Amino acid sequence: LAKITQPISMDSYEGQEVNITCSHNNIATNDYITWYQQFPSQGPRFIIQGYKTKVTNEVASLFIPADRKSSTLSLPRVSLSDTAVYYCLVDPSTGANNLFFGTGTRLTVIP
């Protein structure tokens, strides 16, 4: 399994762009990178998934360098409602597709 490292916590002011970087040095060829968001008292929610380069959806962007040993989740213009824990996962694309969550990054958005 790829070892995942991400910051324990981050603070940001409303309206700023937030970038959360995750390292996954021993990512395998078949692995995808997936990010989830979890609010208190709720289950994790899928945000975005990518394999390489850049992926963008209505919620976030995901930047993955060529070596794929890290990835950066970018949240544009955060609001107070983006305060949550963000999990970076490496997700095998074939075979056993069980997800193992790390400690995540607790993002606090400050007014």
Partner 1 sequence: DAGVIQSPRHEVTEMGQEVTLRCKPISGHNSLFWYRQTMMRGLELLIYFNNNVPIDDSGMPEDRFSAKMPNASFSTLKIQPSEPRDSAVYFCASSPREGYTFGSGTRLTVV
Q: Give the CA diameter of the chain.
A: 44
Stretch that binds partner 1, among 9-17, 19-27, 38-46, 73-81 (CB under 8 A): 38-46
Residue with Cβ nearer partner 1 (41 or 81): 41
Q: Does 98 bind partner 1 (CB under 8 A)?
A: yes
Distances (CA, A) of 8 to 43, 63, 102: 19, 20, 10
Q: Does 66 bind partner 1 (CB under 8 A)?
A: no
3-state secondary structure of 100: coil
Interface positions with partner 1 (CB under 8 A): 34, 36, 41-46, 49, 87, 96-104
